[in-house]
Structure 1
Amino acid sequence: LFNQEKNTTVLLSLSVLVSWGVLLLAARLYWMGNKPPNFSNSDNPAADSPHLLTRTLTFLYLPAANTWLLLCPVQLSFDWSMDALPLIKTFADWRNLHTVAFYAGFTLLAWFGLRSSSSPASKAKETNGKADLANGKALTNGHSYHPPDEQGSPKTNGKTTLNGNGFTKTYQCSPRTIHPSLPSLATLPSTENVVVFSLGLLSLPFLPATNLFFYVGFVVAERLLYIPSMGFCLLVAVGTRALYVRLRTRGSRVVLLGLCTGLVLLYGMKTVLRNRDWSNEEMLYKSGISVNPAKAWGNLGNVLKNQGKMAEAERAYRNALYYRGNMADMLYNLGLLLQENHRSSEALHYYKLAIGSRPTLACNRSHTCILTPHTHTHTHSHTHTSTHFHTLHMRCSEALSVYREAVQKMPKQFAPQSLYNMMGEAYMRLNRLEEAGHWYRESLRAKPDHIPAHLTYGKLLSIIGQKTEAEGYYRRAIQLDPSKGNCYMHYGQFLLEQSRLAEAAEMAERAADLDSSEFDVVFSAAHMLRQASVNKAAERHYERAANLRPDYPAALMNLGAILHLNGRLPEAETNYLRALQLKPDDVITHSNLKKLWNIMERQGLRTTQGP
Structure 2
Amino acid sequence: HLSGSRLRDLLHICSPFIKRACLISGYVVIIMSFRLWLMGGSMPLFSEQDNPASFSPHLLTRFLTYCYLLSFNAWLLLAPVVLCYDWQVGSIPLVESLGDVRNMATVLLAVAIVALCLHCVSSLQKQESREVLVGVLFLVFPFIPASNLFFRVGFVVAERVLYMPSMGYCILVVHGLGRLCSVVGRWGTTALSVSMLLLLLLFSWKTVQQNHIWLSREALFRSGIQTLPHNAKVHYNYANFLKDSGRHQEAIHHYTTALRLYPRHASAMNNLGTLTRHPEEAERYYRKALDTNPQHNRALFNLGNLLKSQGKEKEAEALLKDSIRFGPHFADAYSSLASLYAEQKRFPEANEVYLQGIENCPDSSDLHNNYGVFLVDTGEGQLAAAHYQKAVRLKPAHYVAMVNLGRLLRSSNENKEAESWYKRALQVTRKVDILTPLGALYYNTGRYEEALQVYREAAALQPDSTDIWLALAQVLAMAGRTKEAEKMTLGIISRQGSCIECYRLLSAIYSKRGNYTEALDALDRALQQNPSDLTVRAELHFSKGNQLREMNQLDRAFESYKLAVELKPDQSQAWMNMGGIQHIKGDYAAARMYYQRALLLSPGSKLLKENLAKLDRLERRLTGGA
Alignment match, 2:110: 103
Distance 1:70 1:83, change over 3 A: same
Cα contact 2:402–2:422 (8 A) shared by 1: yes
Match status 1:271 vs 2:271: no
Unaligned runs of 5+ in 2: 312-334, 474-484, 504-528, 533-626
**Alignment partner for residue 137 of structure 2, among 194, 200, 203?**
200
User: 1:79 deviation in Å?
Assistant: 4.2
List aligned pairs for 1:568-579, cutoff 5 A: none
Cα contact 1:539–1:562 (8 A) shared by 2: no
Residues 78-98 of structure 1 deviation map (CA, whole Å, 9 limit, x = unaligned): 444455544444445554443
Q: Which structure has the larger Rg over C-alpha atoms? A: 2
User: 1:37 deviation in Å?
Assistant: 0.3
Residues 461-516 of structure 1 deviation map (CA, whole Å, 9 limit, x = unaligned): 3333333333333333332245xxxx33332244146435523432323433xxxx
**Alignment partner for residue 26 of structure 2, among 17, 23, 44?**
23
Percent identity between matched residues is: 27
Give the aligned residue type for 2:468: M
Alignment match, 1:234: 171
For residues 406 and 362 of structure 1, the distance between their equivalents in structure 2, rounded to whole angstroms, comes to: 19
User: 1:237 deviation in Å?
Assistant: 1.0
User: 1:297 deviation in Å?
Assistant: 6.8
Alignment match, 2:436: 492
User: 1:269 deviation in Å?
Assistant: 1.9
**TM-score (structure 1 length as normaliser):** 0.59
Cα contact 2:279–2:306 (8 A) shared by 1: no
Alignment match, 2:160: 223
Cα contact 2:239–2:254 (8 A) shared by 1: no
Cα contact 2:73–2:157 (8 A) shared by 1: yes
User: 1:537 deviation in Å?
Assistant: 8.7
Distance 1:214 1:564, change over 3 A: closer
User: 1:221 deviation in Å?
Assistant: 3.1
**Alignment partner for residue 70 of structure 2, among 56, 63, 69?**
63
Cα contact 1:328–1:354 (8 A) shared by 2: yes
**Alignment partner for residue 453 of structure 2, among 476, 500, 503?**
503
**Alignment partner for residue 262 of structure 1, among 198, 206, 217?**
198
User: 1:396 deviation in Å?
Assistant: 6.2
For residues 410 and 219 of structure 2, the distance between their equivalents in structure 1, rounded to whole angstroms, comes to: 42
For residues 439 and 564 of structure 1, the distance between their equivalents in structure 2, rounded to whole angstroms, comes to: 36
Cα contact 2:470–2:502 (8 A) shared by 1: no
Unaligned runs of 5+ in 1: 121-140, 142-189, 376-387, 513-521, 543-556, 567-585, 590-611
Distance 1:458 1:510, change over 3 A: farther
User: 1:326 deviation in Å?
Assistant: 7.1
User: 1:60 deviation in Å?
Assistant: 2.0
For residues 564 and 397 of structure 1, the distance between their equivalents in structure 2, rounded to whole angstroms, comes to: 32
Distance 1:465 1:198, change over 3 A: same
Cα contact 1:527–1:538 (8 A) shared by 2: no
For residues 540 and 345 of structure 1, the distance between their equivalents in structure 2, rounded to whole angstroms, comes to: 41
List aligned pairs for 1:134-153, cutoff 5 A: none
Cα contact 1:298–1:330 (8 A) shared by 2: yes
Cα contact 1:423–1:436 (8 A) shared by 2: yes
Distance 1:430 1:559, change over 3 A: same
Match status 1:532 vs 2:482: no
Give the aligned residue type for 1:38: P
User: 1:263 deviation in Å?
Assistant: 1.0
User: 1:101 deviation in Å?
Assistant: 3.1
Residues 317-373 of structure 1 deviation map (CA, whole Å, 9 limit, x = unaligned): 9845752687777888899x989xx99999999888887746474996499459855
Alignment match, 2:184: 247
Cα contact 1:493–1:528 (8 A) shared by 2: no
For residues 278 and 411 of structure 2, the distance between their equivalents in structure 1, rounded to whole angstroms, comes to: 26
Aligned alpha-carbon RMSD (Å): 5.1
Alignment match, 1:152: none
Alignment match, 2:44: 38
Cα contact 1:424–1:436 (8 A) shared by 2: yes
Residues 2-29 of structure 1 deviation map (CA, whole Å, 9 limit, x = unaligned): 9577755763344234323543454456
Residues 423-477 of structure 1 deviation map (CA, whole Å, 9 limit, x = unaligned): 2233333343334333322322222222332333333333333333333333333
**TM-score (structure 2 length as normaliser):** 0.57
**Alignment partner for residue 415 of structure 2, among 436, 461, 467?**
467
Cα contact 1:329–1:354 (8 A) shared by 2: yes
Residues 167-219 of structure 1 deviation map (CA, whole Å, 9 limit, x = unaligned): xxxxxxxxxxxxxxxxxxxxxxx32x111111111001111111111222333
Residues 141-174 of structure 1 deviation map (CA, whole Å, 9 limit, x = unaligned): 7xxxxxxxxxxxxxxxxxxxxxxxxxxxxxxxxx
Alignment match, 2:381: 433
Cα contact 2:138–2:167 (8 A) shared by 1: yes
SS at match of 2:246: helix
Alignment match, 2:246: 311
List aligned pairs for 1:559-574, cutoff 5 A: 559=496, 561=498
Distance 1:20 1:61, change over 3 A: farther
Cα contact 1:198–1:230 (8 A) shared by 2: yes
Give the aligned residue type for 1:212: L
For residues 301 and 415 of structure 1, the distance between their equivalents in structure 2, rounded to whole angstroms, comes to: 28
Give the aligned residue type for 2:470: R
Give the aligned residue type for 2:65: T
Distance 1:285 1:442, change over 3 A: farther
Distance 1:537 1:397, change over 3 A: same
